[in-house]
Chains A and B, each alone.
Chain A
Amino acid sequence: MVTKLKEVDAVVVGLGWTGGILAKELAEAGLKVVALERGEMRTTADDYAVPNIRDELRYVVRHDLMMDTARDTLTVRNNPSQEALPMRRLGSFLPGDVVGGSGVHWSGHTWRWTDMEFKARSMYEERYGKAFIPADMSIQDWGITYAELEPYYDRFEYTAAISGKAGNIGGKLQDGGNPFEAPRARDYPLPPLTPILASVMFDKAAKNNGYHTFPRPSANASRAYTNPDGAKFGACQYCGYCQRFGCEANAKGSPHVAVIPFAMKNPNFELRTHAWATKILKDSIGKKVTGVVYTNVLTGEEFEQPAGIVLLCAYVLNNVHLMLTSGIGAPYDPASGAGVVGKNYCYQTGAGATLFFEDRHFNPFMNAGGSNYTMDDFNTNWNFDRGPHGFIGGYNIGGGFNTALPIGYRPVPQGTPQWGRAWKSATAKYYQTAMNIGASGSVMANRANYLDLDPTYKNAFGQPLMRMTFDYKDNEHKMGRHAADTVNAIAKSMNPTAMNAATARTDPWTVVPYQSTHNTGGAIMGVNPKNSALNKYLQSWDCHNLFVVGANAFAHNASYNPTGPVGALAYWTADAIKNRYIKNPGPLAPA
């Protein structure tokens, strides 16, 4: 039996970055907002405080803040000819499962994606001709421009306490910043983090090789900060327990620090934790949604929460899953290319080298989430001619550490025994004397990479699991070789005592080990309802009172971490709802 509750103006499914931003903004605009969060409330004082937070086994290995795959997971395969099997435990990516979502355990890398992504198809076609884009590469323009999003990037950077150095303010290049970034109205709210030794060494080597390094912009407050809404951040302590952990010093830009407390203070807002959304309801003609059905996982009771507006703000994969299980939008069919929901699922790729320096001492356990110098010479640099290399997209390269904790990080030169006295002495020696240089690469959309519902496996609510069909294509392999060559050339120029060289991956994508929680696509934005699920305001083409906010809207994946545009798009959508939709409910963009 489903208990029907009183209607509210808006219901938010998932209270992480996008849900937190929208809940706060819409409650402040006077809407009655209810947020449904399947996880539990966790706070800095009770859950992220020292010493219990400093537990690598609990948080990194056993995934204490992550989704529980015993209850819900997805099935995976590399191509449609394989039978998909369940991802039985987490590995390759780690969606969050508490109030704050993945924004609690992220490292904080915050980038501005540019028109090179938003206008990918038109820019590559214009420069290289239509034939340069492979026939099965389903990239398309996003329908939004960098100029439109710039004020919202700014808003997110100032909300989330980003430390960094501008490279381009209003068209004027700035010393020490990224010369390849798009023009910004002003600098970051906080100066860059103190660079660690490994990062300094990488910086010097990359510059000697003619590249343009800059401090990675990151939501680790380089000093104490109060954001425009009044949220207070402590200064980052470089504790080395950033990625996979909540921050004990309130120094990480996380939704439970930056935005959610302001929603919680607002009488227009109500949070229901342990509330697992199972279905979005539609009206009889399917032109509007009417609310959300959810289960209270503490009691098993089912509720219907009617709402004027539904905002899907869960993780990428869960947003798409809810669209599919609720029958909203036509499911994508890879054979015909028709349909939109599940289309253009993308991931990322990479290549990394480990360098050993017998005369150096890195103290790898001292770092911030973003304490790496980075270079974009083969990424947002449009002057880099991809023509001779035959690939689309790019990669950024960074040098340093992130979460160099000892269960997971024990670098030794290739060929070192795996146990015994020789293993012990090598592990003891190289823990302190090794560093990394890594490339993170884009993945272009492909016709054969998509999400749909699995025909066999079910979750704890009896619903079909989502099925992920994904593999790297020739484009990524070509880029991977280029990235590995660049990484190795920089690494060799540093004259390490020994080196585990970067290799381009040639094997299929696998669910283990961890790669990145940067899944994108599946309910993408665009200009045409025939090839996108959402318009440029992340509004469903099918049901105008449904907004699907997150990296699900990305038409392909760049080399950058996704949270910058995710946060900016949340503010962009909030403004569109507040300024236009509430006054005149209906489609915000012409079909």
Chain B
Amino acid sequence: MSDPKQSRPKLARRDFLKAAAVGGAAALPQAAAAQQPAAAPPAPAGYAFLNAQEAAFIEALADHMIPADALTPKGTEIGIHIYIDRALAGAWGKGDRLYMQGPWKTGVPSQGYQLPLTPAQLFRAGIDSSNASCRKTYGKTFDRLDEKQREEFLAALAAGKITFDAGPPSRVFWTALYQTVMEGMFSDPIYGGNRNKAGWRMIGFPGAIAVHRDNIEKYRDKAFPNEPVSISEMS
């Protein structure tokens, strides 16, 4: 399969960007184009929160939900698993901005999240329960399922057809899990996901560069040259 980056049109803007990054006399468009690196294989990342079982689940999930094709590399090559691990290890995962005082009651759906769990605790319990459910149905954990079984399980989880035995409500887990996959795909790369801005490239989102006062007219009904820029590239 061809490198998705190479399949996209080269744009003058990209060359300038490279020129600026290199600077000085080397900053000629041809020289910059010649220096285009192929997407370097990601270095093994290591985990700050997920244990081995959980990491295997998240990696399998990321690659199943975001398969490689002409649009992007697969989920783990984009760093979605790393995004999720870091989010769970950090303040958000530990319940930052979450009101954590009881009494704890289920309430009605319109009252929103009511579990006595931080996101990290919810993921731990949710992954464990998902694997238990997979073992019951397929005799093995999610990461060991074949593609068809993974699809079947996720479809059932998303549709609310899976009930966790003694675990958190499966829909609450799925909603949080799905949201973090999307965050890993589309948040700024400083958070560990969206590696090489693959998510932004896929949809033509230019990232942190956003001075469009003249572009409203200039690119009316036309594609904006898509070489996204991340926060770190302007820092």
Q: A-side interface residues toward B, CB under 8 Å?
A: 50-52, 54-57, 61-63, 68-70, 73, 76-78, 82-91, 194-197, 235-241, 360-363, 365-366, 405-407, 410, 418-421, 424-425, 427-428, 431-432, 456-458, 507-512
Contacts and interface: CB of A to CB of B under 8 A. Distances in A.
B100 A239 contact: no
Q: Is the interface of A mostly helix, strand, loop or mixed?
A: loop
A171 B110 CA distance: 46
Contacts of B34: none
A54 B210 contact: yes
A70 B235 contact: no
Interface string B92-111: 10011111110101011111
Nearest to A359: B221
Contacts of B64: 419-420
B20 interface: no
A62 B187 CA distance: 12
A54 B186 contact: no
B136 interface: no
A85 B97 contact: no
How many chain B residues sit at the interface, stated as a range, is 35 or more
B223 A87 contact: no
B221 A361 contact: yes
Given A88-B98, A236-B213, A419-B65, A360 B103 contact: no
Q: Which 9 A-B pairs have the closest CB atoms?
A: A51-B234, A419-B65, A239-B210, A366-B212, A431-B203, A510-B110, A57-B187, A54-B208, A406-B186
11 contacts: A51-B234, A54-B207, A55-B187, A57-B187, A68-B97, A70-B99, A84-B111, A406-B203, A410-B186, A508-B108, A511-B111
Nearest to A82: B108
Interface in B130-150: none
Nearest to B67: A421
A196 B224 CA distance: 14
Contact of A407 (B114, B182, B202): B182
Contact of B211 (A239, A405, A410): A239
Contact of B113 (A88, A197, A241, A405): A88
Given A54-B210, A57-B191, A197-B221, A428 B203 contact: yes
B128 interface: no
A47 B152 CA distance: 46
A507 B235 CA distance: 46
A427 B203 contact: yes
Given A55-B188, A63-B97, A70-B99, A85 B215 contact: no
Nearest to A406: B186
B95 A508 contact: no
Interface in B161-193: 178, 181-183, 186-188, 190-191
Contacts of A78: 108, 110
B216 A194 contact: yes
Contacts of B187: 55-57, 61, 407
Contact of A428 (B71, B105, B108): B71
Interface in B33-55: none
A69 B110 contact: no
Contacts of A57: 183, 187-188, 191
Nearest to B191: A57
B221 to A, nearest CB: 5
A73 B114 CA distance: 14
Contact of A88 (B99, B188, B235): B99
Nearest to B201: A428
A431 B97 CA distance: 31
A55 B210 CA distance: 12
B23 interface: no
B31 interface: no
A507 B108 CA distance: 12
B231 interface: yes
A509 B92 CA distance: 26
A195 B221 CA distance: 13
A458 B101 contact: yes
Contacts of A88: 98-100, 112-114
B99 A427 contact: no
Nearest to A508: B110
Given A360-B221, A406-B200, A456-B103, A366 B215 contact: yes
A512 B207 CA distance: 27
B154 interface: yes
Most chain B CB inside 10 Å of its own CB: which residue of A62, A88, A362, A509: A88
Contacts of A456: 103
B213 A89 contact: no
A365 B206 contact: yes
B110 A420 contact: no
A76 B72 CA distance: 42
A90 B97 contact: yes
A456 B231 CA distance: 44
Contact of A238 (B178, B208, B213, B231): B213
B58 interface: no
A183 B235 CA distance: 49
A81 to B, nearest CB: 11
